[in-house]
Amino acid sequence: MGEHWRPVWAEIDLDALRHNARVLRRRAYPAALCAVVKADGYGHGAVAVAEAAVEAGASWLAVARVEEGVVLREGGVEVPVLLLSEPPQEAMVEVVASGLTPTVYTATGIEALGRAAASLGVPHVDAHLKVDTGMHRVGADSTDVMSLAAAIDAHPHLRLGALWTHMAVAEGVSSEDRAFTDLQVGRFEAAVATLSGAGLVPMTTHMANSAATIAVPETRRALVRCGIALYGVAPTPALGVAVATAAEPLRPVLSLRARVSFVRDLDAGARPSYGRRRPLAERSTVATVPVGYADGVPRRLFDCNGAVLLGGRRRPLAGSVTMDQTVVDCGPVGDATVSVGDEVVLIGRQGDEEITVDEWAGWLGTIGYEVLCGIGARVPRVSLGHSPPKGTALPSGRGNGP
């Protein structure tokens, strides 16, 4: 497999993921843990991550798309899998056939789910009814919750498995954000009370995402849905301090690594890479690393003074990131010995130095979620703490290593 020949890979520390799952379970107790593994497990490899999370005590998984749920089932994952958005009507038969737990929030979605369950002869399907309490992305209006819950309850093949919502600013530290979180909690409690008053009692309720699980105890209900925190990244820098200084800090799961493919010495004033953006201040050693923006290393990393670790030291980029390659300024000739094959760390630890996902996010003016999900499909994921047979493909279709 050609992708194994290029010395670029992402290491996935499944022991760290198991640790994070246990920490989040203890933080949320007695709530159960739902591990969010959408987007191929935030770029970590969905099946491997799901298995590790379940081993560590997660009793639910969650994904965004029906196809993602099917991948888990085909990978042998058997625990309940929640779909976080209402599936298309034409996908409902696959939802039921694969034993996935659908979210619903429209009358047409409930009708399609009921037809699918009836057509397959499934006695009951637990539908999770989502109410919009302020996120304003998807979810039923509070005025429609009663009629939708009643429709689920009245269908012979459906049950009201849950009522749930999603928090918009649970990570916020401002008084305005905290007030809005309190407003969402109040709206949700009102919806639960309205249903209960009509005898429509959901089997469970859930509200908390990673940020709410960490910072808003009153949202922890019977189940918490943890995504970014599961991967050892704080939802925001503001929560990052709390996560890092906790008695049981979360551990980063992913590191992005490569090896030097070419080394040369260039004279002062040379301007490496496209656009000839910056001259070298003095005669310097420049190393080429075979990873670029097609792999999820953004071109603008050069513009925001991004760096890599090489020889245990931070080294700045020598020019613009290109599609397949990045050039690194290793300093004045003779300052350090750099050879083809030396390890380069783009995200992760090398010696006493570390470049974190949060640091990348800060450089790029984005969030850790985007950094992780942006690491491309052609970067092989290598699972540590889990050893699939050499040469086999990971469930995402990616190879096992360089």
Alpha carbon distances (Å) from 119 to 73, 105, 113, 158, 360: 21, 21, 10, 13, 49
Measured CA to CA, the distance from residue 396 to residue 54 in angstroms comes to 18
Q: Are strands 284-289 and 307-310 parallel, antiparallel or unpaired?
A: unpaired
Q: Per residue in 317-374, pLDDT tens? A: 999 999 999 999 999 998 879 999 999 999 999 999 999 999 999 999 999 999 999 9
N-term to C-term CA, the chain? 10
What 67-72 contacts at long range (C-beta under 8 Å, 24+ apart), as own/partner pairs, is 68/37, 68/38, 68/39, 68/40, 69/95, 69/98, 69/100, 70/94, 70/98, 70/100, 71/46, 71/47, 71/395, 71/396, 72/37, 72/46, 72/47
pTM of the model: 0.92
Looking from the CA of 250 toward its CB, the CA atoms found within 13 Å total: 28
**290, 378 contact by CB (below 8 A):** no
Question: Per residue in 87-109, is it b (16+ CB within 10 Å) or e — as a string?
Answer: beeebbbbbbebebbbbbbeeeb
DSSP summary character for residue 76: T
Boundaries of CATH 2.40.37.10 in the chain?
Answer: 254-355
308 SS3 class:
strand
Provide the H-helix boundaries in 29-144: 38-43, 46-55, 66-74, 92-97, 107-120
Where residue 271 falls among pLDDT bands split at 50, 70, 90? very high
Q: Are strands 158-164 and 307-310 parallel, antiparallel or unpaired?
A: unpaired
Measured CA to CA, the distance from residue 21 to residue 29 in angstroms comes to 12
Closest CA to 230 of 359, 382, 54, 76: 54
How high is the pLDDT of residue 173? Answer: 83
**233, 241 contact by CB (below 8 A):** no
What CATH architecture is 14-232?
Alpha-Beta Barrel (3.20)
**352, 312 contact by CB (below 8 A):** yes
What percent of the chain lies above the pLDDT cut of 90? 89
Q: Residue 288 is which amino acid?
A: T
Phi, psi of 224 (to 5 degrees): -120, 145
Which residue out of 38, 42, 130, 293 is catalytically annotated?
38
Structure tokens at 54: 């379940």
229 SS3 class:
helix
Q: Residue 155 is which amino acid?
A: H
390 assigned to active site = no
Which residue out of 42, 274, 293, 390 is catalytically annotated?
274
DSSP of 175-223: HHHHHHHHHHHHHHHHHHHHHHHTT---SEEEEE-HHHHHH-GGG--SE
How high is the pLDDT of residue 336? Answer: 77
Structure tokens at 82: 């929640």
Residue 246 confidence (pLDDT) above 90? no
Where residue 241 falls among pLDDT bands split at 50, 70, 90? low
- The β-bridge partners of 104 are 129
- Domain 254-355 homologous superfamily, CATH: Lyase, Ornithine Decarboxylase; Chain A, domain 1 (2.40.37.10)
Where residue 385 falls among pLDDT bands split at 50, 70, 90? confident
Residue with tokens 């980029």: 317
How high is the pLDDT of residue 237? Answer: 76
274 assigned to active site = yes
Q: Per residue in 44-103, pLDDT tens? A: 999 999 999 999 999 999 999 999 999 999 999 999 999 999 999 999 999 999 999 999
What percent of the chain lies above the pLDDT cut of 70? 94
Boundaries of CATH 3.20.20.10 in the chain?
Answer: 14-232
Q: Are strands 223-226 and 32-36 parallel, antiparallel or unpaired?
A: parallel
Q: Of all residues in the chain, what percent are helix, strand and coil, respectively (each to 5)?
A: 35, 25, 40
What mean pLDDT is predicted for residues 222-245? 85
**20, 37 contact by CB (below 8 A):** no
Instruction: Report CA 34 to chain centroid distance, whole Å.
Output: 13
